[in-house]
Structure 1
Amino acid sequence: MSSIFKIAQISDCHLFSQTDGLHHGANVYHNLVSVLDDIKNLHLVDAIVFTGDITQDHSEKSYQLFVQAVVESDIAIPFYYLAGNHDELELLDKYLSVPPFNREKVFNDKYWQIVLLNSKSETPKGLVTPSDLSAFESIVDGNKHQLVMMHHHPLDVGYFIDQHGLENQAEFWQTINKFSSIKAITCGHVHQALTLYSDQSPAIPLFTCPATSIQFDTNKSAGASNGQGPGYRVFSLFTNGKIKSDSYFLTKE
């Protein structure tokens, strides 16, 4: 069983307008740069997907610093992106408009179709609108396997971030369950590396991506760091529809 397609996922950078901005004590710009360097130096991947929350202070400069970090990393492979609840869609498209960024929300390999599904709403909670669910149904290629990538988590994880999870979970899974070709969902937002499973048969795995900023302390009632270093995920997608996903964490300095 040989891997034919590899994707790195990063998420939840929470940058500020300055490179020395701290999020719960972590220098989040430095963390992002370190994660990008780690991916470039250690993993031969075909694409990188960012699943939301570039900014913490909602400044345009934070988007520019994200672009700066990626461009200065000399990453040349396609770099796709989604909006998180902190992000503004128009600012993403404005600044993530130079190579290697790609604004397409569907990309393909011979055997796999990767779909980036918007879940940003007017509140911190997630919502995949009926029109987006309908559009999703129309683009699923039944001749390929699918990996669906999004920002908000469509299954509860059991700590405070659930108050800002996906609002319409039932409708989301009703749509997903129509397609046996969908092999996994992956999301950001939860600041942890978890693997959960839907209640359908066979169960579809939900992978959550560790943040480049901080990992949440799941014993707290609000956002706080658990002291773990920045992280990311790598997906190995096989011709037969199998998925191998590994999480990587950098040592906290």
Structure 2
Amino acid sequence: MPTMSVAQISDCHLYEDKSALHYGANVFDNLQRILDELGKLAHLDAIVFTGDLTQDHSLGSYQLFNQLIIDAKLSCPLYVLAGNHDDEHVMATTLTASTINHKKHIERGNWQLLLTRSKSETPAGFVDSHHLQQLAHVADRVEHTLLFMHHHPVDVGYFIDRHGLNNQADFWQAVEANQSIRAVACGHIHRGQTYQGPKNVHVYACPATSIQFDPDFDGVKALPKGAGYRQFMLHHDGTITTTLVYLD
């Protein structure tokens, strides 16, 4: 049995209007279906949402997310990070469902989940000095760490790199200083892919619950692929098994 079973969801891009379409997709329905699937999973210890809750920046979109979490009747906590579209204050005050947890450190056995802030004043990402220090020194009590963030810390080869992590070198220096970090899990790129970071640290990107980006188009264009999520099995010896799940 794994030490910890974790699901990651990301980039739901909700509107206040439940029927609104995002590049042809009903993003409310997509998220509802994903949450229904997660509610059926046995032995799930945590769900991590890695940001971009809203598309229209409305209070109603945050309220919809909160109500969807209540209705889903999840059997485990859901932890939340802000994406570049999100307002952290509105998230903190509106996401009040009992299942939602705003902690950024979660420990179980010899594993820790660390949720790192990468939101900046622009759509691009930036991990500030406080969070870099936290990254470098947070391993005191745990043997293995899975790091979650919104922005991708490696280039992926298509338009979203214009809005990637601006201080990649500083970020990876902090990761290298923390010997417990086994992998990085991110959202933002709207694709379920695996990339190789420095020092053999894998970067696992999460499919969006909204749309999957076409990497061959210079801008936002949806692939004909359904909503998805990523699941992690974290093993006692520090190894990670991960799978991608798409609904269509």
TM-score bin (small chain): over 0.9
Partner Cα separation in structure 1 for residue 196 and residue 142 of structure 2: 24
- Please tell me the root mean square deviation across aligned C-alpha atoms, in Å: 1.0
Partner Cα separation in structure 2 for residue 212 and residue 184 of structure 1: 22
Partner Cα separation in structure 2 for residue 143 and residue 121 of structure 1: 29
**For 1:98-247, what aligned pairs fall within 5 Å after superposition?**
98-141=97-140, 143-200=142-199, 203-247=200-244
Q: How big is the shift at 1:77?
A: 1.1
Q: How big is the shift at 1:178?
A: 1.3
Structure 2: unaligned runs, 5 residues or longer: none
TM-score (norm 1): 0.96
The DSSP-based 3-state class of the residue aligned with 1:177 is: helix
What is the aligned partner in structure 1 of residue 6 from structure 2? 7
Q: How big is the shift at 1:136?
A: 2.6
Partner Cα separation in structure 1 for residue 15 and residue 161 of structure 2: 25
The DSSP-based 3-state class of the residue aligned with 1:148 is: strand
Q: Deviations over 1:81-107 (max 9, x none)?
A: 000000000011011123101111001
Check 1:65–1:245 CA distance in 2 against 1; reply closer, same or farther (3 A cut): same
| Total equivalences in the alignment | 248
Q: How big is the shift at 1:144?
A: 1.7
Partner Cα separation in structure 2 for residue 128 and residue 85 of structure 1: 12
* 4+ residue runs over 6 A deviation: none
Structure 1: unaligned runs, 5 residues or longer: none
**For 1:54-93, what aligned pairs fall within 5 Å after superposition?**
54-93=53-92
Q: Deviations over 1:104-163 (max 9, x none)?
A: 100100110110000000000000001211123332236420000000000001110000
Partner Cα separation in structure 1 for residue 148 and residue 48 of structure 2: 8
| Deviates further, 35-44 or 11-20 | 35-44
Partner Cα separation in structure 2 for residue 5 and residue 188 of structure 1: 20
TM-score (norm 2): 0.97
Partner Cα separation in structure 1 for residue 168 and residue 110 of structure 2: 28
| Percent sequence identity over aligned pairs | 45
Partner Cα separation in structure 2 for residue 87 and residue 150 of structure 1: 14
